[in-house]
Structure 1
Amino acid sequence: MNSIASPDLRGRPQADEPAPFLTLVNLIWDEKHIEHWIRFGHEDYRQHLDPQRSIVGFAPGRIIAFVRWAGNDHGTVASRLDVLRTVGRGERCQTVPFVRPGAEILLRQSGWPKVERVLLAIDAIEALGLDPSDVSPDHWRHLHNRLTAGEEPRSYTRAQHIAWLKRREVQP
């Protein structure tokens, strides 16, 4: 995989290089074979490597959903969806394939039935007129835990969202 351009002799980023401390995600789109895409999240950087590959970058603290799917002539081979919180310099993080340096994993599901449940939950949040990247991280953890345990998760509500926004205002 091609790497991002290196700094010039003075250590400054070149024009096609991301700002420091971004979380970088490698995206691939080889239709019906390998598909990696961002389901939601506000990107701060994008570099197209070729028609099938690009790199997107996210500032620290962003919430994103990263979907990885692989298939062959017989159908789906693997599917995974991760909801991640991007980290800043010096923060602890977990490693995630195709994500540099890593991120805080809020939700991790694999296998089409569970991935589909998460996609439906994201659709339900959007149907409320909410941006999934603004949803409380606790909701993504709840969804992860309930799906992992085979239990029915609670739906995200406007009241929860309002409470989360107020809590976020007073957190240091």
Structure 2
Amino acid sequence: MAAVVPSPFASLVDHEGLTRVSLAYVAHRLNLYLRFGEPAYYVQHDRWRRMAAFRPAAMFCRIRWEANDYGTVRWQLMVMQACTSLDAAQRIPGVRPGARLLLHADGEQQVRATLSCIDAIEALNIVLTDTSPAYWRTLGNRLAAHLPLPDYTAARHAAWLAGRALS
């Protein structure tokens, strides 16, 4: 578990080179949280807001749920990879300075389908942050094209780890 840094001491922590992700919770209105990822540290701003900081190349998943008086108005899931200042990164609201967007699911159906894929990977006892970035890109493209979603198997994961070890 990452250390929680109290807000008054946030300036003492080295922010250089880290990707900062804003998180929030307002009961029955907004829930912006991490589904997976291993932050270097957290900063608790107040009861509702906090910030997670990720080292370069770290993978994480942020979910955004919003509602109004009539029900849910937004479901969003993004799988991202933190970048260095030299990498090409996309500007994403609440992610500073930006990140490499691997998967973007918008709407209840796409988010639920992605969450079931995430649950299936966890059922294989695979750490989600070690999953192949190419799988998340493929999953996002299949979601956008309304095609059948690919399975992430133990064999695919072993091949990814072997390739990563060689490079």
How does 1:9-88 map onto structure 2 within 5 Å?
Answer: 14-15=11-12, 17-88=13-84
Contact 1:28 1:54 in 2 (8 A): yes
Paired residue type of 1:48 = Q
- Give me the TM-score of the superposition, normalised by structure 1: 0.89
Residue 142 of structure 1 is matched in structure 2 by 138
Q: In structure 2, which of residues 142, 149, 155 is the aligned counterpart of residue 153 of structure 1?
A: 149
Is the aligned partner of 1:120 residue 2:107? no
Give the drift of 1:145.
0.6
Q: What do residues 34-79 of structure 1 show as CA deviations (whole Å, max 9, x unaligned)? A: 1100000001011000011001000000110011111012211111
User: How much is the aligned-residue C-alpha RMSD, in angstroms?
Assistant: 1.6
Structure 2 unmatched runs, 5+: 1-6
What SS does the aligned partner of 1:163 have? helix
Q: What do residues 93-139 of structure 1 show as CA deviations (whole Å, max 9, x unaligned)? A: 00111000010010011011101111111011000001111100010
- Give me the TM-score of the superposition, normalised by structure 2: 0.92
Give the drift of 1:19.
3.4
Contact 1:18 1:57 in 2 (8 A): no
Q: In structure 2, which of residues 129, 137, 162 is the aligned counterpart of residue 133 of structure 1?
A: 129
Structure 1 unmatched runs, 5+: 7-12
**Could you tell me the percent identity over the aligned residues?**
36
Instruction: Looking at secondary structure, tell me which structure has more helix per residue.
Output: 2
